[in-house]
């Protein structure tokens, strides 16, 4: 009987502690000034990125602005230019040192045109678990 109580207590604790780690969401909100009361959807992220980096922004300016907001300054975010594909990939990773059964990471893709200017923005949240 006592072991059932401990199992119930453990399950309750895990439920209360949360099954989801929001570390990547929190950092993404910080980078792109997305308020905590705004739902964090892929479309919301695209809108905020497009506000910071309007269509037509040259790659050199994209790199400068992304550095200004802090992407790539920690080990949990990165900026990668893939020249042969005219593509920029921004990754915002989850913190592996935080608790959570389900974790997420974000990848923001900036497609550049032939002149290395921003053409389209997309964002995708990837969910992972144990």
Say what the pLDDT of residue 70 is.
95
Neighbours of 47 (CB within 10 A): 15
pLDDT of residue 104: 86
pLDDT at 16: 47
pLDDT value at position 13? Answer: 58
Give me the torsion for CA of 20, 70, 37, 23, rounded to 10°.
10
Backbone angles phi, psi at 45, to 5 degrees: -65, -45
pTM (two decimals): 0.81
Q: Where are the chain's structural domains?
A: 19-129
Q: What is the pLDDT of residue 103?
A: 81
Q: Name the phi and psi angles at 56, rounded to 5.
A: 100, -5
Residue 14 is predicted with a pLDDT of: 54
Residue partners of 111: CB distance under 8 A and separation at least 6: 86, 87, 118, 119, 120, 121, 122
Contact criterion met (CB below 8 Å) for 116 and 82: no
Q: What does the pLDDT read at residue 4?
A: 74
Query: How much is the pLDDT for 61?
Result: 97
Q: What is the mean pLDDT of each run of 10 residues along the chain (130 residues)?
A: 68 55 86 94 96 96 96 93 95 80 89 97 86
* Terminal C-alpha separation, the chain: 29
Q: What pLDDT score does 17 carry?
A: 52
> What are the φ/ψ torsions at residue 118 (nearest 5 degrees)?
-60, 130
Interacting residues of 56 by C-beta distance below 8 A, sequence separation 6+: 117, 118
């Amino acid at each position: 009987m006592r072991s059932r109580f401990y199992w119930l207590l453990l399950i309750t604790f895990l439920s209360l502690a949360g099954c989801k780690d929001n570390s990547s969401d929190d950092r993404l909100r910080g980078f792109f000034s997305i308020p905590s009361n705004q739902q964090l959807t892929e479309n919301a992220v695209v809108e905020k990125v497009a506000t910071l980096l309007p269509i037509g922004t040259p790659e050199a300016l994209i790199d400068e602005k992304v550095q200004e907001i802090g992407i790539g300054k920690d080990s949990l975010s990165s900026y990668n230019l893939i020249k042969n594909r005219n593509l920029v990939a921004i990754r915002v990773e989850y913190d592996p040192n935080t608790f959570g059964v389900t974790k997420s990471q974000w990848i923001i893709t900036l497609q550049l045109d032939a002149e290395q200017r921003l053409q389209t923005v997309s964002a995708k949240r990837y969910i992972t678990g144990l």
